[in-house]
Amino acid sequence: MSFSLNSPYSSGLRVEEASAPVIPEPGRPLISFRGIEKSFGENKVLIGVDLEVNQGETMVILGRSGCGKTVLTSMLVGLNPPDAGVIAVEGVEITDFVTDTDWRNLRLKTGYLFQGSALYDSMTVGENVAFPMVQHTDWSEAEIERRVAEKLGQVGLEGVEPLDPTALSGGMQRRAALARSLALDPQIIIYDEPTAGLDPITGDEIGQLLQSLQKVLKVTSIVVSHDLRLTELVADRLVLLHEGQWAFQGTYEEFLHSSHPEVLRFLHREPKGETTT
């Protein structure tokens, strides 16, 4: 396998080796959202949202399609600036960042699993996983090849490097995209609807993989989803977004016993005082 170290996609940002694990100050969350506001025209998507994510935990953000879950998490990598409020990572207010250089270190230690996998059809699976390494490191071709095999092995896809992404099933494509997200040994991983479009059995397999990786890698994870089974498998804590605000924050067990009408609808239970027609 050959990986060009002069990629036309290269941004010039380089990382010599994996960063040391992030250890926030005692009593300080790793990631903090405070008073986040976001509107698109007249549509108020986020209204004064507060959220804290601790080092090493998996936080699931639940909500209906289009409620603003992905908008919130994309703010962590500078794709969607908030209209108001403060976002801090390791105590650094990233809402003060104004140039791409400001985002450099944060993006290099943040993995992002896009909804639908978003693999490059023009590249093999191996080249897809190698892409962040080619773009952001000065590692030798042999080292990149070794790390590609390692990352694919971590997601149970040994030996698929020469295949085209279209030769993989939907679940295998999701695994390959996850391997690419792990390429630079991130300390934070954002999963955007990791089980979307998958059958229940394959979705469970992806959930079990995320759970296993969390135990081994001890990263900090934010999972955007509306999949309750996935939430049960992976969540240390969860929040439910409804009409721009949190309808619930807590553990999955607490979620099951919440009386909030939107929680009950998510659990396919009828809120008191309402009848079906």
Phi-psi region of 24 (alpha: psi -120 to 50; beta: other; left: phi over 0): beta
Element (H, E) at 84: strand 84-89
Q: Is 249 part of any domain? A: yes
Which residues, including other chains, have CB under 8 Å from residue 225's CB and lie 6 or more apart? 60, 61, 62, 69, 191, 193, 194, 195, 231
Residue 201 lies in a domain: yes
Pseudo-torsion of CA 159, 165, 167, 170, nearest 10°? Answer: 100
pLDDT tens sequence across 143-152: 999 999 999 9
Place of tokens 């025209």: 41
- Cα separation, 221 vs 214, in Å, equals 8
| Lowest pLDDT segment from 47-51, 57-61, 70-74, 77-81 | 77-81
Query: Is pLDDT above 60 for 26?
Result: no
Supply the pLDDT for residue 221: 95
- Does 102 reside within a domain? yes
Average pLDDT (18-22) is: 44
Q: What is the rounded distance in angstroms from the CA atom of residue 76 to the CA atom of residue 94?
A: 8
Q: Does residue 275 lie within any of the structural domains?
A: no
**4 assigned to some structural domain:** no
pLDDT-derived band of residue 97, with 50, 70 and 90 as boundaries?
confident
Tell me the mean pLDDT in the region 3-32. 51
If we measure between CA atoms, which residue out of 208, 188, 206, 186 comes closest to residue 197?
206
Q: What CATH number has the domain bearing residue 68?
A: 3.40.50.300
Q: How many domains does the chain have?
A: 1
Would 272 be classed as within a structural domain? no
Secondary structure (3-state) at 211: helix
Is residue 155 very low, low, confident or very high in pLDDT (cuts 50, 70, 90)? very high
pLDDT score at 106: 85
Tens digits of residue pLDDT in 196-230? 888 999 999 999 999 999 889 889 999 999 899 99
pLDDT value of position 203: 92
Q: Supply the pLDDT for residue 2.
A: 55
Structural domain boundaries, residue 92? 15-266
Give domain status of residue 55, yes or no.
Answer: yes
Could you report the per-residue pLDDT of 108-129, keeping only the tens digit for each? Answer: 889 999 887 889 989 999 999 9
Give the confidence band of 33 by pLDDT, cuts at 50, 70, 90: very high
5 lies in some domain: no
**Average pLDDT of the residues in 173-188:** 93
